[in-house]
Copies of this chain bind each other. A is one copy, B any other.
Amino acid sequence: MKIERLDVNARRSRLVKYNGVVYLSGQFSDKGGDVASQTREALAKIDELLARVGTNKSRLLASEIWITSMADFKAMDEVWNAWVVPGNPPTRCCCAVELGDPEMRVEVMVSAALGDVEIMDV
């Protein structure tokens, strides 16, 4: 078994792959804007990272969503629900916290299985 890391800087790897699971760092917008557009941008980054290791959002395992106020929940949730693959969402939890920059409205953490995994009918 081995560990693979993508997009390594002094602080973190954006993706770590080990033992059939990929872990992603919290993804968030670089561009600011409202919570819906920030959620879309974070999820697009997740799609891109998963694609680089040959998997995709149908293989998501667990997720955690941080927003900065529950007033943003509905707008975030609509973007999320339109993004997940019907029948194949990960587990999820969501809370409101203070994020790294006052412009940030949402940060999304996910883990996923590799792409050669069979999806069971639900």
Among B93, B113, B122, contact of A109 (Cβ-Cβ < 8 Å): B93
Assembly CA distance A53 to B70 (angstroms): 32
Residues on B with beta carbons closer than 8 Å to the beta carbon of A8: 87-89, 122
Question: Cβ of A119 and Cβ of B2 under 8 Å apart?
Answer: yes
Which of B15, B92, B100 is A12 in contact with, Cβ under 8 Å? B92
User: In the complex the two chains form, is B91's CB within 8 Å of A73's CB?
Assistant: no
Minimum CB–CB distance for A34 against chain B, Å: 19
Residues in B with CB closer than 8 Å to A92 are 11-12, 25-26
User: Among the listed B20, B25, B88, which residue makes an inter-chain contact with A5, where contact means beta carbons less than 8 Å apart?
Assistant: B88
Number of this chain's copies in the complex: 3
- Is the interface on chain A under 10, 10 to 19, 20 to 34, or 35 or more residues? 35 or more
Report whether A20 and B23 are in contact in the complex, using a CB–CB cutoff of 8 Å.
no
- Residue A90 at the B interface, CB < 8 A? yes
Report the minimal beta-carbon distance from A68 to chain B, rounded to whole angstroms.
9
Of B20, B96, B120, which one neighbours A97 at CB under 8 angstroms? B96
Closest to A59 in B: B3
